Structure 1
Amino acid sequence: MTTKTLPNISADSIAYRNGRFSGFITPISYILDLGIIILAASYFFVESFDLLTYSIFIGICWVIISMQLDFYKIRRNTKFTTLLMRLARQSVFFAFVVFAFFGYYYELSRESTYIFNYLATTIGGISLVKIGLFFILKNYRSTLGGNFRNVAILGVNEETEQLYQFFETHTDYGYRSKKVIDVHTASFTLADFQKWVIDNKIDEIFCSVKELDNDQLVELTDFADNNLRTLKFIPDTEAVLSQQVHCDYYGLTPVLSLREIPLDDLANKITKRAFDIVFSLFVIIGVMSWLTPLVAIIIKLESKGPVFFKQARNGLDYKEFTCFKFRSMVPNKTAHLHQVKRGDHRITKIGKFLRKTSIDELPQFFNVLLGDMSVVGPRPHMVSHTHMYAERIDKFMVRHFVKPGITGLAQVSGYRGEVETEEDIKGRVRNDIYYIENWNIAQDIVIIFKTIANVFQGEEKAY
């Protein structure tokens, strides 16, 4: 078994993740666009028009359409023609939604002139805002030097020199190239380079794959994953690694991104967070409001100690948070060190029932409401186990790119409960990484239904 050094999750690494995206840009765009849509509606449709109903309907439809069409997914290297194409597609679907609303609620013939004027005004206004913001950001990066990312280019060859020159001449992309590093010099080592990346707060590493051997590529990939850096490959062959990759073009240079995380997109974050809040409030008000007093009385009658069990666990960006559960064991000094095993003598009689039915996990909906957890995501481990697995299991740290969950894909795929073998934790990591790279809200709903079904059907490892 290969043992790696525990990753150094420094304050710089956390700051990088927190500052990686300009989080204010997308919400401001949403607010401006929806503001134009609603204000224009209040101006054009004044007679017996239900503005509130329309605003709710059109707002929901606008968000759904924009997410499906990646309307707000405008990156630094997005071309102006791409922006125009997304505007055109969004406008067509928006027009269909508007006509659908008025066709259902009103006589379309009476309102048709106003509708066409309304569409022209809203689409024109949104286009001006979108195009204006696009060029404002480009000038903000090139003229004022804001909204930038520090990058390092690894390897000296024609492709890397071409990329370096592209970043130098296209300052509107907001990339500051710190250094083009020659890997074939006697003084170069990956260990020194990794330290330099952290010390110089490098955000993204562009690596030429033909300059490093396979072992070095794997080591660099592990470093980027474990230290929350973005690694992109400049390809030399058609197949670089077996993992899912995404190809972008910077000028004429193709660049492969190792991992695309849907929840890095702010619209997806907002959607998931909204779902978490609604679902957790439903459980807290509808279930826990009456179940908690009953469980508390039974726990207290059987054994002395608190009703709730609190434990430090690692969450998003490796930050520690306090995880809540109903106490299912007698108070003991090893609760924060040793995982529950089959036939564990520490588990109380009521605790066996709570764990078998997953009722002991219900207080974690308070963690969801507080923002430490999500309803669905990689299950968090106790801190001592997180450190251990981070040393032993490759890619384990990738799980911390998103919030941990009460349930997850790994749990409904047979990897719940005690880690009895190395394959158990590797299976969790594989499923968690797949979930992170392929997230969508429909998948969350499916996982929730599977979790509920498993509660009633019973699970072998629920002990």
Structure 2
Amino acid sequence: MRKGGYSIIIKPLLYIIDLTFISFLSLLLLTDNIKSILFFNFFWIITSVFVSFYNVYRFTKIVEVLTRLTKQNFLFILLVFTYLFINKSNVDPKNVLSFFFWLYFSLILWRVLLYFLFRRYRIITGSNYKQVVIIGVNNSTKKLEKFFNNHPGFGYKFMGFFTDDNAIERKGAVLESYDFIIKNEIDEVYCSVKELTNKQIKDFINFCDINMKSLKFIPDNKELFTKNLYLNYLDITPILSLRKIPLEDSINSVVKRLFDIVFSTLIIVFVLSWLIPILGLIIVLESKGPIFFRQDRPGIKEEGFGCYKFRSMAVNTSSEKSATRNDARVTRVGKFIRRTSIDELPQFFNVLFGSMSVVGPRPHLWRQNEMYGTKVPKYMVRHYVKPGVTGLAQVRGYRGEIETKEDIINRTKYDIFYIENWSILLDINIIIQTVVNVFKGEEKAY
């Protein structure tokens, strides 16, 4: 278990444990009113978002963890005091003070213990670590190497330097790093900005986008630039990250997954339960073959999955060919269900079982990935998240057949914008716009 491990469940689990503890202390010292306890839980969640209390990463210092904890508790105390005052609660002031003392003391103890426990876990088991390489050798990159090697508890495994300077001990030249990164499944690439040309930086950006590697920059301290970049520190070395993806946050990921499960279940129960037998009969009566059409398509991290649709074409051997206007393969009922997007509804089973999301970049054909993966800038970034039944590019008019180069470029731009700016409200907005477009009719729905 090298990459990631169970990292995705850590933040939701911390929320559950903290809220359970708050509920227990509230019940023990403040009130047995369930409504009040639910309010206290809500206050904790709101304040945690405000102070980014749960945005703790493997490189976050213990001092910062405790600072956020203090801010979190202070704001939480104010909200609870305000609530008790407004509701004219008759809770004994001593109990209130005891509540906050035990909460603060216990959380400090719990967080410090957890902080060092995770570090020991990584050191002892050798799991949940990220393999990294550094491009360029100078004082800053040597400090970073020292940090990686001397602090295994942070979960990084340094795999070597790459530089064009032959006089320095290295793993290879800069150009040789590309093959090494692929063959050794490197997770993160750290580039020293001052040792690379603009062309080399651009090449690394394109390479990491195509191969879905995390790219970070070590800036020249004299010329620090942060536009469109995100600054963090590993020990005292400043690190610039190229892209920040909201869905890499485990809370956001859980929220989106819960939304997908609820929404897809509603569609399956209230729509597909009666639509499948009726439409299935019509499809079979018009042309021989199965009701559903299953096609292997690239999903998250370009892992293949079986994408389901209602069969809208006569059975043929050219399924890897995209549908075109007036396509002879499309049946009469197929024209209707494609025009109304009903053929896509079985993909809600994909959503329910986790290979797709309700909203995301539409899954392309493998042939299209081969065509555009290295030719369209940032095309492969689409695979950082699960593909969707609908997407931002589709509601902006870039759906169906790709007729010109501008079609795929603009579709990719919208997909990347969605990935980098995701929110649950954006998902809901796209779903509403999708429904509106179905009733309005779309020119490229064929």
Q: Same fold (TM over 0.5)?
A: yes
Structure 1 residue 110 corresponds to structure 2 residue 95: no
Counterpart-to-counterpart distance in 1, 2:225 and 2:279: 54
2:242 counterpart letter in structure 1: L
1:425 counterpart = 2:405: no
Aligned residue identity for 2:52: D
Equivalent residue for 1:122?
103
CA distance in 1, matches of 2:301, 2:425: 25
Deviation per residue, 1:185-212 (Å, 9 max, x gap)? 3995444212222333432221112222
1:292 to 276, 282, 287: 276
Which residues in structure 2 correspond to 1:45-60 (within 5 Å)? 49-50=33-34
Aligned length: 441
2:385 aligned to which of 383, 396, 402: 402
C-alpha change, 1:102 and 1:241, in structure 2 (3 Å) is: closer
Q: 1:227 to 1:302 in 2, by over 3 A?
A: same
1:382 counterpart residue number: 365
**Residue 298 of structure 1, CA deviation:** 2.4
Alignment partner of 1:151 is 2:135: no
Contact 2:362/2:387, CA 8 A, preserved across alignment = yes
| Counterpart residue identity of residue 301, structure 2 | D
Give the counterpart of 2:11 among 8, 23, 26: 26
Structure 1, unpaired ranges of 5+: 1-14
The reply on whether 1:393 has 2:376 as its aligned counterpart is: yes
Instruction: Please list the CA deviations of residues 70-109 of structure 1 after superposition, one character each: whole Å capped at 9, or x if unmatched.
Output: 32211122233322332234334544665677678xx532
User: Which residue pairs with 1:233 in the alignment?
Assistant: 217
Match of 2:198 in 1: 214
CA distance in 2, matches of 1:369, 1:98: 39
Counterpart residue number, 2:257: 273
Instruction: Give matches, 1:1-400, under 5 Å.
Output: 18-19=3-4, 22-44=7-29, 49-50=33-34, 62-63=44-45, 65-67=47-49, 69-95=51-77, 98=80, 107-111=87-91, 113=93, 114-141=95-122, 147-185=128-166, 188-236=172-220, 238=223, 244-334=228-318, 336-400=319-383
Query: Measured at CA, do residues 171 and 95 of structure 1 come closer, stay the same or move farther in structure 2, by a change above 3 Å?
Result: same
Moved more, 225-234 or 321-330: 225-234
Report the secondary structure of 1:110's partner residue: coil
> Take 1:28 and 1:83, find their aligned partners in 2: how far apart are those partners?
17
Alpha carbons of 1:197 and 1:350: their partners in 2 closer, same or farther (altered >3 Å)? same
Distance 1:333 1:72 in 2: 51
2:445 is aligned to 462
**Partners of 2:268 and 2:100 in 1: how far apart?**
42
Partners of 1:387 and 1:218 in 2: how far apart?
21
Matched-pair contact (CA < 8 Å) for 1:153–1:205: yes
| Percent of pairs with identical residues | 45
Counterpart Cα distance in 1 of 2:113 and 2:419: 33
Counterpart-to-counterpart distance in 1, 2:250 and 2:408:
30
Q: How many Å apart are 1:115 and its aligned residue? A: 4.9
CA distance in 2, matches of 1:352, 1:93: 58
Unaligned runs of 5+ in 2: none
CA deviations over 1:316-338 (Å, ceiling 9, x no partner): 1111111111111122111x211
Worse overlay, 280-289 or 144-153: 144-153
C-alpha RMSD of matched pairs (Å): 2.9
SS at match of 1:233: strand
Retained in 2: the 8 A contact 1:154–1:180? yes
Other structure's SS at 2:158 match: strand
Residues 154, 183 of structure 1: 8 Å contact kept: no
Task: Give the TM-score of the pair, scaled to structure 2.
Answer: 0.88
Structure 1: distance between partners of 2:38 and 2:121: 34
TM-score by length of 1: 0.85
Q: 1:136 to 1:442 in 2, by over 3 A?
A: same
Question: Quick one: which amino acid aligns to residue 157 of structure 1?
Answer: N
8 A contact 1:361–1:406 mirrored in 2: yes
Q: Which amino acid aligns with 2:436?
A: A
